[in-house]
Amino acid sequence: MAEVHELLRAHGRQSVLQFDSIERRVVDAAADYLTDEEGGIGFLYSGWAQAALPHKRLANDEPWQVRTDRVNLLVEPGRKTLVDGGLQWIGVPYGSRARLIMLYLQTEALRTQSREIELGKSLRAWLKKMGISPGGKSIADVREQAERITRCRLTFEVQQAGKSALVQQLIVDKALFTDDDEDFGGSGFLERTKLSETFFEQLRRHPVPIEESAIRHINRHSMALDIYCWAAYRLHALAGPISVSWRALHAQFGGGIRRLDHFRETFQEQLQLATAVYPGARIEVRPSGLLLSPSDPPVAPRKTVTALRR
């Protein structure tokens, strides 16, 4: 899967863009990743590398569930009280914006070793940290996903070493926004938030290190983000090559895509994007699914330890 990186090093971006066999967005992501000098190490809870949020909006009262042979994830939507005393369903978080918010919160919590997280002096500064252009629609999208994250409830059931661990939790104890709608970048935006104690402890026990430069260059593609995080978690821990069937991949990544043939096409496109920012990933596409081989992690263990000690 590292062919595009070898071509870029040998011929440069403009020449590789002429190749009909490689999509432009894959070339651009790989080239931007290779020249990104900002660096940075991010973290996420390992459960999110095995089961993720929906890619698209669900009905506001609809829960989200992912069931694999390793993890069962249930995300239940929250509700808020209206002025007239009624209750309104908020809906579960979804899409790339929700994933970026979650990655940011988890990364900052581990960097500071604190449940309390500094969001920045303004919403625009926070958006910039996550690689989101601070335009009007982006602000509205982030506010919506932040409210969904604040109000939803998670249940992770993880199967490991023949044992089952059940984790039920809120993500944050303190909202990311107030209900003041006057100015998303002003009084309606809180400068600090706080992860729930249960979620923070799970994150501390089971962190997955990722490269922030990788996330920046695929930050609009929710499935590519999921595949990258899964590969970062899975590949370096393999003792030898293993096969993963299309049906197993569909169960984990294909929520919302009913037909397996449609999923296969979409997944392979998103896999190319994910590996464009993970050159060391050794993944082979086969008719039956994927062949995964032991690979170097995207972040060297020494760098991970250094980042966690800061």
Q: Are residues 199 and 142 in the same domain?
A: yes
Three-state SS letters, 254-293: CCCCCCHHHHHHHHHHHHHHHHHCCCCCCEEEECCEEEEC
Asked if pLDDT for residue 182 goes beyond 50, the answer is no
Average pLDDT over residues 1-14: 85
Candidates 101, 102, 90; CA nearest to 48 is: 102
pLDDT of 39: 79
- Residue 232 in 3-state DSSP? helix
Of 299 and 188, which is predicted with more confidence?
A: 299
Q: Residue 71: what are its φ and ψ, rounded to 5°?
A: -140, 140
User: Are 53 and 79 found together in one domain?
Assistant: yes
Whether the pLDDT of residue 21 is over 90: the answer is no
Residue 184's pLDDT is what? 45
**Residue 310: predicted pLDDT:** 58
State whether 115 and 81 are in the same domain: yes
Instruction: List C-alpha distances in Å: 185 to 23, 96, 104, 130, 298.
Output: 37, 21, 18, 16, 34
Per-residue confidence at 33, pLDDT binned at 50, 70, 90?
very high
Residues 27 and 153 in one domain: no
Burial of 28 (0-12, 13-18, 19+ CB in 10 A): middle
Does residue 6 share a domain with residue 103?
no
Same domain, 26 and 41: no
CB neighbours of residue 51 within 10 Å: 26
CB neighbours of 281 closer than 8 A, spacing ≥ 6? Answer: 1, 2, 231, 235, 274, 275, 295
Q: State percent of the chain over pLDDT 90.
A: 58
Q: Are residues 6 and 48 in the same domain?
A: no
Q: Specify the number of domains making up the chain.
A: 2
Q: Specify whether 237 is located in the same domain as 122.
A: yes
70 shares its domain with 128: yes
Q: What is the pLDDT of residue 170?
A: 82
CA distance 310 to 297: 21
Alpha carbon of residue 220 to chain centroid: 11
Name the burial class of residue 120, with classes exposed (0-12), middle (13-18) and buried (19+) by CB atoms within 10 angstroms of its CB: middle
d(CA 241, CA 290): 10
Domain, as residue range, for 7: 1-35
Quick check: 82 and 53 in contact, CB under 8 A?
no
pLDDT at res. 179: 59
pTM of the predicted model, to two decimals? 0.91
> Are 111 and 243 members of one domain?
yes
94 and 163 assigned to the same domain:
yes
